[in-house]
């Protein structure tokens, strides 16, 4: 599990640790890790003679960069400091000057010649984005062709939210200290961080992070495995209400996902039975209302639905319900909040904006806030699709909607996303898959995050660098599952 902690938590852990250590020890650890990472980026034997520029802001982030500069200067690098702000970390600057570094006479000339630039303008103490005087320097650093390394965070991005107001440093790599910060894992800020390396400085962090990204082993631990004696009900039956005369394909895609999600059977309800059966003869089909379709352990409703009725009936069921796509447009928060069983909503940014009464741009700029807000407003687990798909559980409240602790627990961020997934119908596959995991008995937050994980992995496998269609993603799900579970085709 990769975890991220907000500034307040990181600062508290730093204060507790600093109280036990001699002054400067933590900064020294950070600088040592940073210098080692820079040496690695420059390449073996390339530190001596390398031209390094330190963009030094006024706080400890600049201090880290200056002390890393000291270590690199001692190994023979030519280190030049560009001062931003009225003051810099004076002890760090003095140490660097003693080690042979110097202050730039002409910052732009220094940047143009640089092999590596350290962005020590701001870290977790920064607010309000890059200041105007920093913008041209940051642009010059970016355009110089030097390797641009952000210290702790790319300056200008918001550590806690991943928001980026105006310009920010676009780093090739970020060396972060003690813990990942949420902004390093969530877009848009994540894109500015480049390759992120975590340097341990000995912080003791609380058990529950603000954000977590599942890895293979975590997902493997969640996936359902059929027992020898399981019948189809034991494995779960998922009902899929999807498709319309106009969009029969959405039904096929949702069923395709559901068949690969671990449920023992898929029941399809809707007008696309012929299309579904032609592709997946194993599907149980029903043309009447969902309530008469027979027993299910979870419902998926929405993909390609148009205005087909059935939502109220499905929401009244005492089993988990996943609402996607067209189903979301018809959703009443109170009807969801008062459900007797958990609900999962899977909007993309546009649908989330509609549900929140805001714009798509605002949702995309503040994805963490949006997913938390939706989970709280609807008392539902929300999977917000996008380049960094997020899953938030609702805070505890009336009904059985919540499965997470106090605040709703850590928001999960999916690490397997790929731009190839931005293709028509891929969301339908995800809904079917996630609904199937719900029917198999996974808790809502686990079903949504394992679903997103497998879906992203399947898309990568199917794409291998070329465009994919949604059905290719569904077809690659078994291989992604084997990858994660560590099973072989013959098992
Ligand atoms: N506290 C600690 O023990 C440790 C801190 N570390 C480093 O210290 C950083 C935090 O240091 P600080 O709390 O001094 O904060 P920062 O250095 O991140 O930034 C605060 C300073 O920048 C100025 N500032 C704020 N917003 C700005 C903006 N938009 N543009 C320009 N200047 C701006 C402030 O006036 C203040 O002087 C971490 O990110 C990390 O790099 C590490 O050395 C590890 C140990
Ligand atoms: K920085």
The Cα–Cα gap between 24 and 33 comes to 14
Instruction: Give the angle 277-329-353 at the CA atoms, nearest 5°.
Output: 125
Annotated ligand binding at 61? The verdict is yes
Annotated ligand binding at 161? The verdict is no
Mean pLDDT (whole number) for 382-399: 89
* ipTM score of complex: 0.97
pLDDT tens figures, 284-337 = 999 889 999 999 999 999 999 987 679 999 999 999 999 999 999 889 999 999
CATH superfamily of the domain spanning 2-211: YjeF N-terminal domain (3.40.50.10260)
Annotated ligand binding at 332? The verdict is no
List where CATH 3.40.50.10260 sits in the chain.
Answer: 2-211
| Cα 182 to middle of ligand 1, angstroms | 17
Q: What percent of the chain has pLDDT over 90?
A: 88
Ligand nearest to the CA of 171: 2
- Residues having CB within 6 Å of any atom of ligand 1: 14, 18, 26-27, 30, 57-62, 64, 85, 121-129, 131, 151-152, 177, 201
Predicted confidence at residue 403, as pLDDT, reads 45
pLDDT tens figures, 72-87 = 999 999 999 999 988 9
Confidence of residue 398 (pLDDT cuts 50, 70, 90): low
Place of tokens 């805001």: 358
Give bridge partners of residue 238 from the DSSP assignment: 266, 298
* Three-class SS of 227-276: CCCCCHHHHCEEEEECCCCCCHHHHHHHHHHHHCCCCCEEEEECCCHHHH
pLDDT tens figures, 160-209 = 999 999 999 999 999 999 999 999 999 999 999 999 999 999 999 998 99
Residue whose CA lies nearest to ligand 1 atom number 25: 126
List where CATH 3.40.1190.20 sits in the chain.
Answer: 216-485
Looking at 289-443, list the stretches that DSSP marks H as alpha helix, in order from N- to C-terminal side.
Answer: 311-316, 326-329, 333-337, 349-356, 360-365, 367-378, 426-439
Confidence of residue 407 (pLDDT cuts 50, 70, 90): low
Mean pLDDT of the chain: 94
Give the domain 216-485 fold.
3.40.1190
For residue 287, with 0-12 CB atoms within 10 Å meaning exposed, 13-18 middle and 19 or more buried, which class applies?
exposed
Annotated ligand binding at 286? The verdict is no
| Cα 77 to middle of ligand 1, angstroms | 25
């Amino acid at each position: 599990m990769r975890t991220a902690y907000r500034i307040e938590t990181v600062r508290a852990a730093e204060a507790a640790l600093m109280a036990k250590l001699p002054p400067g020890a933590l900064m020294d650890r950070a600088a040592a890790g940073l210098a080692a990472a820079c040496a690695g980026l420059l390449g073996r034997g390339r530190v001596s003679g390398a031209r390094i520029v330190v963009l030094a802001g006024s706080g400890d982030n600049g201090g880290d960069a200056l002390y890393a500069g000291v270590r690199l200067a001692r190994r023979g690098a030519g280190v030049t400091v560009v001062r931003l702000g009225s003051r810099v970390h004076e002890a760090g600057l003095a140490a660097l000057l003693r080690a042979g570094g110097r202050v730039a006479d002409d910052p732009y000339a220094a940047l143009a010649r640089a092999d590596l630039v350290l962005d020590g303008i701001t870290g977790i103490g920064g607010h309000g984005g890059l200041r105007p005087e920093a913008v041209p320097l940051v642009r010059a650093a970016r355009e110089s062709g030097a390797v641009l390394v952000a210290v702790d965070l790319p300056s200008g991005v918001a550590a806690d939210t991943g928001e980026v107001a105006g310009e920010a440093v676009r780093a090739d790599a970020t060396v972060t200290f003690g813990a990942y910060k949420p902004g390093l894992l969530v877009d848009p800020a994540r894109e500015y961080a480049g390759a992120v390396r975590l340097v341990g400085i000995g912080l003791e962090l609380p058990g529950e992070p603000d954000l977590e990204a599942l890895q293979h082993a975590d997902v493997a631990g969640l996936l359902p495995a059929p027992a020898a004696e399981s019948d189809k009900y034991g494995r779960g039956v998922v009902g899929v209400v999807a498709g319309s005369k106009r969009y029969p394909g959405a039904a096929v895609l949702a069923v395709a996902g559901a068949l690969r999600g671990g449920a023992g059977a898929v029941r399809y309800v809707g007008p696309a039975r012929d299309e579904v059966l032609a592709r997946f003869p194993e599907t149980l089909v029903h043309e009447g209302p969902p309530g008469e379709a027979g027993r299910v352990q979870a419902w998926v409703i929405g993909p390609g639905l148009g205005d087909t009725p059935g939502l109220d009936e499905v929401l009244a069921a005492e089993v988990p319900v996943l609402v996607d796509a067209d189903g979301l447009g018809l959703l009443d928060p109170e009807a969801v909040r008062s459900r007797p069983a958990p609900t999962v909503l899977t909007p993309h940014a546009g649908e989330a904006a509609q549900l929140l009464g805001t714009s798509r741009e605002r949702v995309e700029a503040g994805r963490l806030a949006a997913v938390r807000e939706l989970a709280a407003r609807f008392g539902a687990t929300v999977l917000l699709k996008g380049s960094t798909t997020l899953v938030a559980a609702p805070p505890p409240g009336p009904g059985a909607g919540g499965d997470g602790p106090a605040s709703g627990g850590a928001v999960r961020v999916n690490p397997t996303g790929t731009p190839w997934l931005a293709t028509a119908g891929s969301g339908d596959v995800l809904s079917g898959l996630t609904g199937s995991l719900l029917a198999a008995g996974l808790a809502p937050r686990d079903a949504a995050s394992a679903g997103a994980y497998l879906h992203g992995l399947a898309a990568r496998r199917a794409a291998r660098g070329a465009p994919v269609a949604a059905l290719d993603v569904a077809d690659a799900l078994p291989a992604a599952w084997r990858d994660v579970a560590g099973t072989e085709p013959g098992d």
